[in-house]
Amino acid sequence: MKTPLFLGREPAAWLTLVAVLVKLAVAFGWNASPEVQAAVNAVAAAAMGILIALAVHDGLGAAITGLAQAALALSIGYGLDWSTEKQAVVMTAVTIAVGMWDRTQVTAKVPAKRPLPTA
């Protein structure tokens, strides 16, 4: 399968641009820790995962869950003060919501077996 292009460029090129722009912003005054910079890049990668999943029509649920995890990590990097329990509850809710939506989108590749007749 060919990698989808976005505005004529491969996803890796866009992610490289984001990483360079983050470094450029830090060089010119953005006071972001290395953890925050990594989290911004993680959110960009997760968002690109969603775009790719949409383009190839596969794995959108996993991409959305990954984006939620990356966004939570970025929020923590920016000072969101949530306990690990609260983070786990939020991610559980996201995973369940995505799973419920995903269930309506999936079609089995083979039909279900017919039940055996009862005597």
**pLDDT tens per residue across span 36-55:** 888 888 888 888 888 877 77
Closest CA to 19 of 34, 3, 4: 34
Residue 9 sits at φ, ψ, to 5 deg, of -125, 155
Q: pTM to 2 decimals?
A: 0.59
What token pair was written down for 83? Answer: 């306990």
Q: What is the pLDDT of residue 61?
A: 81
CA 68, 78, 71: angle at the middle one, nearest 5? 10
Percentage, residues of the chain above pLDDT 90: 12
**Is 36 within 8 Å of 77 (Cβ atoms)?**
yes
Average pLDDT, the chain: 82
Classify residue 73 as exposed, middle or buried by CB count within 10 Å of its CB (0-12, 13-18, 19+): buried
Indicate whether 106 pLDDT > 70.
no
